[in-house]
């Protein structure tokens, strides 16, 4: 069951979405003061939509762009860490299209190896 857009996410839901263990999100809370989820009884964390966008941006900076934690902190405070634009889910390519693209890649790699 998928939650409605704008619904709060629990730490387990956000961690699952990002493909990270929950303790990483808790660590990020100590390193990125902007990331402050609501904490309810028993210290249950609820991430607001803005927190989710920020967590995705931190994940992108650290795991895609290769920033260090200190570099990501600086990027976010300097304004270079703008939120990622929301993208609509892309439909997977048709099998025929995928097969043609893979064959083209294989041919390009074979040609590169001959050089």
Quote the pLDDT of residue 112: 82
- The mean of the pLDDT values for the chain is 83
Q: Does residue 88 surpass a pLDDT of 60? A: no
User: Residue ranges of the domains in the chain?
Assistant: 9-88
Please give the CATH topology (third level) of the domain spanning 9-88. Multidrug-efflux Transporter Regulator; Chain: A; Domain 2 (1.10.1660)
Residue 49 has pLDDT above 70, yes or no: yes
Q: What percent of the chain has pLDDT over 70?
A: 83
pLDDT at 68: 92
pLDDT of residue 102: 83
CB neighbour burial string for 79-107, b if at least 16 within 10 angstroms, e if fewer: eebeeeeeeeeeeeeeeeeeeeeeeeeee
The pLDDT of residue 69: 92
């Amino acid at each position: 069951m998928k939650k409605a857009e704008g619904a709060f996410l629990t730490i387990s839901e956000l961690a699952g979405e990002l493909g990270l263990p929950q303790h990483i999100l808790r660590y990020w809370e100590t390193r990125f003061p902007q990331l402050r989820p609501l904490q309810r009884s028993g210290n249950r964390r609820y991430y607001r939509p803005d927190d989710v966008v920020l967590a995705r941006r931190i994940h992108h900076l650290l795991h895609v762009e290769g920033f260090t934690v200190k570099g990501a902190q600086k990027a976010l405070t300097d304004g270079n860490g703008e939120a990622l634009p929301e993208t609509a889910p892309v439909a997977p390519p048709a099998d025929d299209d995928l097969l043609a693209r893979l064959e083209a890649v294989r041919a390009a790699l074979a040609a590169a190896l001959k050089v």
